[in-house]
Amino acid sequence: MREVYLDNSATTKVLDRVAQTMYDVMTKYYGNPSSLHRKGIEAEKLIRKAREIIAQALGVKPGEIYFTSGGTESNNLAIKGAAYSMRRLGNHLITTAIEHPSVLDTFKQLEKEGFCVTYLSADGEGFVDTGALQKALRPDTILVSIMYVNNEVGSIQPIEEAAACIHQNKNTLFHVDAVQAFGKIPLVPGLKGIDMLSISGHKIYGPKGIGALFVKEKVRINPLFNGGGQEQNIRSGTENMPGIVGLGTAVEEAFENLSSWRKIMRDLKKRLKDRILQEIPDTVLNGPDTDMNGSGSSSDTINEAPHILNISFLGTRGEILLHTLESHGIYVSTGSACSSHKEGRSHVLSAMGKSPEEIDGAIRFSLSPFLSMEDIDYTVEVLKKEVAEIRKFVRR
Amino acid sequence: MENLYLISFGEIALKGENRPFFERILIQKIKQALRNFENIRVQKTHGRIYCLVDGPREEVIDRLKKVFGIVAISPAHECELNMDSIKATALSVMKETDYRGKTFKVETRRPNKSFPLKSPDVSREVGAHLLTNLEGLKVDVHHPDIEVEVEIRERGFVYCERIPGPGGLPLGCNGRAVLLLSGGIDSPVAGYMMMKRGVEIEPVYFHSFPFTSDRAREKVIDLCKVLAEYSGRMRLHVVNFTDVLKELGEKGPDELLTILMRRMMVRISQEIAARVGAKALITGESVGQVASQTMEALIATNEVAKMPVFRPVIGFDKVEIMDLAKKIGTYDISIEPYADCCTVFVPEHPKTRPELEGVHEAEEKFDIEELTKTGLRDVEVIEVV
C-alpha cells in the first residue's frame, strides 16, 4: 500500500543524514561538553558548530541561541522567563487567541499569578490584526507573543508590522513562536525587532526532544531550571548532544533547500487545495484564501504557509475521515476530537468563527517536499470516494 | 526464604458431596496464581489450605488476593511442638502487629491429639506469656481486636492476621460465558462479578474502524489485562463490526439503530459462545441508565438471545458501578476518552420505548442470517496474559 504522510506539522521523518550524524555522536563523540578532557572539547566543538549553523540561518549571533528540549520548552522559557524578569517594569502581557497550547496555557498560568493578559482575536482567515495590537499596547506592557505561522490553518502573521508597533514601546519585549515557520518560509531578515524566537527540531526533519530559543543579546530572562549553569545559565542540564548536532544538520538541509522545498510544497498544496475544493462538494477552506499563482514566484504578499492546508468536509466527522484515510495509508490530523463536547473542538477554528459543523469536519493536511503529485492525486481520489461514503452515515 | 500462608475459603466449605471438586479447582488456581515463584507447596487440610512459597511476602499476598474462592489469607509462623517454642513464636507474631492499646484473645486448635496440653490450656499459657511480655495489651475474649490463632498439627502454626481475599467461588467451577465488553465502565465490572461466581469469561469486543480508532481496541485489550490478573489468562475476540454497522446505518431507521445494533451484537456473541463452549452471555446493562437500557429496550435486545443473558449490574447505580471499577482497577482505563462506538451512530433522539413490532418491521429490510455471518467473517482472537 502506498504511504502518504500528510501530517508533517505534527512531526516529520528524520532525514537519513541527520540520523547518521546522531548515531556517530552517540557512539563516537559521546563526551560531556563540560568535561575538561579531550572528549569534552570534541563535544563542545560540535555544539559550537550547530549553534553557528542555526545563528547563520536566522541571521543572528551564535551567542543568542540557546538549546532547549523543543518548542514547548522554548515557549515556556521565553514567556515565563521574560514575564518574571520584567515584572518590575509592568504587569501587562499580550498574546493571541490562536496560539499553540504551550503559549496559551503559559499565559493562562501567568494570569492566575496576577499578570493582566490581553488575547487578540483572529479574523475568518486566521490573521491577527496589527491595528488591534496597536490598540492593546499600554505603557506597562512588558511582553507580546505572536506565532509566526499558525499550526492549524497556515496563516502567516504580520510579524514585521507587529514588530514595528511593539518597537514604539521601550519596555515591551516581542516573542515569536516560529515552530511552524522556521525552515519553511523566509523569516524577517536578521530577526529585526524580534527579541525572542522559538524553534523546534522535529518539525524540520530533525529529531524530537530538541529545540532552540533565540534571545537577543541584551535581553535578560529568568531560567526555568536550576542546575549546572549550561547555556550561559539560561538552560541548565547536560547538553543533548545527539539532538543538538541532529538539529544543526537538519537546519543546514532546510536552509540549503528552502526555496526549492518551498516551491515543491506550494505546488503540491495548490493541487491538493484546488482539486478538493473543485471536485468534492460541500468543502470549505479554513485559513488564508489567497490565490497562489503556481508559477512559484515568491511574491512578498503571500501570507499563507506552503505546507499547511485545512479543509472542512461538511457532513463528515474529522476523526472518522482520519481513520478512513489511515486505512488507505494516508495520514492527516483533525481540527478536533470526535465528540459532541465543546472541549474537544479546535480553539483556533472557534476563534476564526467557524461553525460547529465546519469544525467537526475539519482536516489538516501538512505537506513535505518529499511527496509527489501522484501522492496528492491518490489522496484526492481516496477522499472523493470515502467522503461520499461517510456522508451516507453521518446525520446532518 | 520460605513463607507460610494459611488460606481460608468460605462458601466452598458449605458444599456437600461436591466439596472435593471445588477444593481441587481452588488449589489448582492457587498454584496457577503463584506459578512465578519457587518451591510452591499447596496442601489441603480440614477447611484450610496451607501454602508454602519462596517469594516476597507482599507479592505473594497480592497474587492470592486475586484468587476467587479465597476468603482470607493469613501469613503464619511455624514452630516446634513444645510450649516454649509456641510461646516464643506467638510473641514474635504479636510484635509484628500494631498491638498497643488493643485487646486480644488466643484461640487454639489441636487436631494433633498427641500433644499433651488441651486447647484451652495452651491458649491460657500463651495469653499469659503475651501479657507479661507486652505493654498496653488487654484481654477480651468476646470482641478482641486481635485474635492470635495457634494450630497444633504435625507442626505448630501461629498467626494473627487475616487479609481479606476476593471471596466467591474458584474460577471455572461454574462454566463459561461470553462477556460483551465495550470500553466503558460497566461491562468490565459485570465480567468481574461473574468471574467471582466461578464463571470463566470470554470477552467479545465489537470494533468498528474507522468509526472508532484503533486506540479504542487497545483500551479494551488493556481492560482484559486487568481482568486477566484474576484469571491468569483471557481470550479476547475482536469482531470486525464495521460492515454490519454500515448496513444498519444505511437502511435502518435512525431512532431504532441502537437497538438493531445491540440485537446484532447478541446474535454474533451467541455464535462465538457456541464456538468456545460458553453457555451464557454477560452484559454490563443497568436498567434505565441510557436509552438502550430501558425495560422495553432490554426486552427488544433480549428477544434474540437463545441463552441466558446475565446482567450482574442491572440494579446498580452508576456511582456503585464506578466504585467497583475503581476497586478492581478498570476504572482509570475505562475513562480514557476513546469512544467504543462513535457518536455518529447515536441518533439525536433514540426511541426509549421501542415496540417489538416496530423492531421486527425494521429488521425485515435485512437478511439477518447473512448479516450475522458478515459479523463473524473476521474475528480476531487475542490471547491476553
Choose the final residue of a domain: A220, A252, A284: A252
The verdict on A225 and A349 lying in the same domain is: no
Q: What is the pLDDT of residue A298?
A: 43
What is residue A335's predicted lDDT score, i.e. its pLDDT?
A: 66
Question: Is B180 marked as binding a ligand?
Answer: yes
Q: What residues of A are in contact with residue B347 (Cβ under 8 Å)?
A: 395
Mean pLDDT across B92-119: 89
pLDDT of the residue at B254: 83
A317–B342 CB contact, under 8 Å: yes
- Judging contacts by C-beta atoms under 8 Å, the chain A residues touching residue B344 are 317, 320, 393-395
CA distance A378 to A396: 28
State the SS3 of chain B: CEEEEEEEECHHHHCCCCHHHHHHHHHHHHHHHCCCCEEEEEEEECCEEEEEEECCHHHHHHHHCCCCCEEEEEEEEEECCCHHHHHHHHHHHHHCCCCCCEEEEEEEECCCCCCCCCHHHHHHHHHHHHHHHCCCEEECCCCCCEEEEEEECCCEEEECCCEECCCCCCCCCCCEEEEECCCCCHHHHHHHHHHHCCCEEEEEEEECCCCCCHHHHHHHHHHHHHHHHHHCCEEEEEEECHHHHHHHHHHCCHHHHHHHHHHHHHHHHHHHHHHHCCCEEECCCCCCCCHHHCHHHHHHHHCCCCCCEECCCCCCCHHHHHHHHHHHCCHHHHCCCCCCCCHHHCCCCCCCCCCHHHHHHHHCCCCHHHHHHHHHCCEEEEEEC
Residues 6+ apart with CB under 8 A from B41: B50, B51, B52, B53
**Cβ <8 Å between B348 and A326:** no
Strand order from edge to edge, sheet including A211-215:
A65-68, A211-215, A196-200, A173-177, A141-147, A92-96, A116-120
CATH code for residues B176-384 = 3.40.50.620
Whether residues B213 and A323 touch (CB distance < 8 A) is answered with: yes
pLDDT digits (tens, 9 = 90+) for B138-197: 899 899 999 999 989 888 889 988 899 999 999 988 899 999 999 889 999 999 999 999
**Interface residues from chain B to A (CB-CB < 8 Å):** 209-214, 246, 249-250, 254, 337, 339, 342-345, 347-348
> Same structural domain for residues A233 and A286?
no
The confidence band for B323, taking pLDDT boundaries of 50, 70 and 90, is: very high
Q: What is the pLDDT of residue A295?
A: 42
Residues of A in contact with B212 (CB under 8 A): 323
3-class secondary structure per residue, B84-144: HHHHHHHHHHHHCCCCCCEEEEEEEECCCCCCCCCHHHHHHHHHHHHHHHCCCEEECCCCC
- B26-49 pLDDT, tens digit each: 999 999 999 888 888 888 877 788
Question: Is B1-79 a CATH 3.30.70.1510 domain?
Answer: yes
Q: Report which residue type is found at B16.
A: G
Query: In this structure, what C-alpha cell is assigned to residue A198?
Result: 522559538
pLDDT for residue B161: 86
C-alpha–C-alpha distance, residues B336 and B216, integer Å: 9
Q: Determine, for residues A338 and B246 on separate chains, whether the beta-carbon distance falls below 8 Å.
A: no
The gap between the terminal CA atoms of chain A, to the nearest Å, is: 33
- The span from the CA of B27 to the CA of B136, in Å, is 40
Band of pLDDT at residue B223, cut at 50, 70 and 90: very high
Cβ–Cβ below 8 Å for A393 and B210: no
The top-level CATH class assigned to B81-154 is alpha beta
- Over chain A (396 residues), the average pLDDT of each successive run of 10 is 95 97 97 94 96 98 97 98 96 97 97 97 95 96 98 96 93 97 96 97 97 96 94 94 98 97 96 97 93 45 90 92 95 69 78 93 96 98 96 74
Mean pLDDT across chain B: 89
Between A320, A392, A395, which is nearest B210 by CB?
A320
Q: d(Cα A283, Cα A91) in Å, to the nearest integer?
A: 44
**pLDDT of amino acid B335:** 84
Question: How many beta-carbon pairs below 8 A join chains A and B?
Answer: 42
pLDDT one-digit tens code per residue, B224-273: 999 999 988 899 999 999 999 999 988 888 888 889 999 999 999 999 99
pLDDT tens, B4-29?
Answer: 898 988 766 666 777 788 888 999 99
**Is A339 in contact with B337 (Cβ distance < 8 A)?**
yes
Q: What is the mean pLDDT of residues B196-216?
A: 92
Same domain, A214 and A139: yes
* Alpha-carbon span A308 to A224, nearest angstrom: 32
Query: Which residues from B are below 8 Å from A319, CB to CB?
Result: 213, 342
Per-residue pLDDT tens digits for A63-120: 999 999 999 999 999 999 999 999 999 999 999 999 999 999 999 999 999 999 999 9
Residues A30 and A127 in one domain: yes
Q: Judge whether A340 is closer than 8 Å to chain B, CB to CB.
A: yes
pLDDT at B292: 76
B155 is in an annotated binding site: no
Would you state the pLDDT for residue A396? Answer: 53
Q: Is B277 annotated as a binding residue?
A: no
Q: Which residue, of A252, A286, A308, is where some domain finishes?
A: A252
Tell if the CB–CB gap between A395 and B347 is shorter than 8 Å: yes
**Test mutation, A334, A392, A394, A396, chain B, max B CBs within 10 A:** A394
- The pLDDT tens digits of the residues spanning A206-248 come to 999 999 999 999 999 999 999 999 999 999 999 999 999 999 9
Phi-psi region of B154 (alpha: psi -120 to 50; beta: other; left: phi over 0): alpha
Q: What is the pLDDT of residue B13?
A: 62
CATH of the domain at A332: 3.90.1150.10
A49 and A110 in a common domain: yes
Number of domains in chain A: 2
A323 at the B interface (CB within 8 A)? yes
Contact with chain B for residue A394, Cβ under 8 A = yes
Residue B343 pLDDT level (bands cut at 50, 70, 90): low
On the CB side of A75, how many CA atoms lie within 13 Å of its CA? 23
Q: Which residue has the higher pLDDT, A93 or B95?
A: A93
Same domain as A32, residue A55: yes
Range of the domain at A160: 16-252
3-state secondary structure of A9: coil
A262 and A131 inside one domain: no
Domain ranges of chain B: 1-79, 81-154, 176-384
A317 touches chain B (CB under 8 A): yes
Encoded amino acid at A200, one letter: S
